[in-house]
Amino acid sequence: DGTIRDADEKSGNGNVVEKDGEFETTLADWKTENVNYSNYSVAIPYGIGLRWGISKRVTLGAEFSYNYFFNDYLDDVSDSYALNTEIQNNFDGDPVKQQLASYITDPTGLGSSGVDNVATSPRGNPDYNDAYSFFSFEVSYNFKHFFKKAD
């Protein structure tokens, strides 16, 4: 139904969680794949762009940019879901955090069996690092002729 709930989909019960629009979860702290990783990464930006002069005052431009990162955790997704025992060990003695970590790791409950010694479903492909790209258009207008120097 498109709602976000505080229990996995298979549980059959769960309260609707209202979004407040504020960032609240640093996923690295919850070890969703039982991996420690840095919040920083180095990237190499590649790009190409063109600019056309339409008149003395108007230019049009287009640019494509591709940013390649040297890690696979820009989006906190690389390999497989954490197992239940890994989650319990990461938050030993705190059942509330264990339950939250289990939910944050796999909100649907469909991606991981959660059973030890059973291969879990892949979250991503660890053979490839993260990257993103964008394409942009630009229209610029030169106001130089409107602002004349006073004599």
In a domain, 1, yes or no: no
Q: Residue ranges of the chain with pLDDT lower than 70?
A: 1, 110-120, 145-151
Instruction: Give the single-character DSSP code of 130.
Output: -
In this prediction, residue 112 carries a pLDDT of 62
In a domain, 6, yes or no: no
Q: At 50, which amino acid appears?
A: L
Which domain does 89 fall in, by range? Answer: 28-146
Instruction: Give the single-character DSSP code of 107.
Output: T
Helix (H) or strand (E) holding 140: strand 131-141
In this prediction, residue 119 carries a pLDDT of 58
Q: At 55, which amino acid appears?
A: S
In a domain, 57, yes or no: yes
Count of residues making up the chain: 151
Say if residues 136 and 47 touch (Cβ distance below 8 Å): no
Q: State in Å, rounded, how far the first CA of the chain is from the last one.
A: 68
In this prediction, residue 66 carries a pLDDT of 98
In a domain, 139, yes or no: yes
In this prediction, residue 114 carries a pLDDT of 55
pTM of the model: 0.67
Please state, in angstroms and rounded to a whole number, the distance separating the CA atoms of residues 120 and 94. 24
In a domain, 19, yes or no: no
In this prediction, residue 19 carries a pLDDT of 73
Query: Over the chain, what is the mean pLDDT?
Result: 85
In this prediction, residue 118 carries a pLDDT of 54
In this prediction, residue 73 carries a pLDDT of 94
In a domain, 34, yes or no: yes
In a domain, 11, yes or no: no
In this prediction, residue 121 carries a pLDDT of 72
Number of folded domains that form the chain: 1
In this prediction, residue 83 carries a pLDDT of 83
In a domain, 98, yes or no: yes
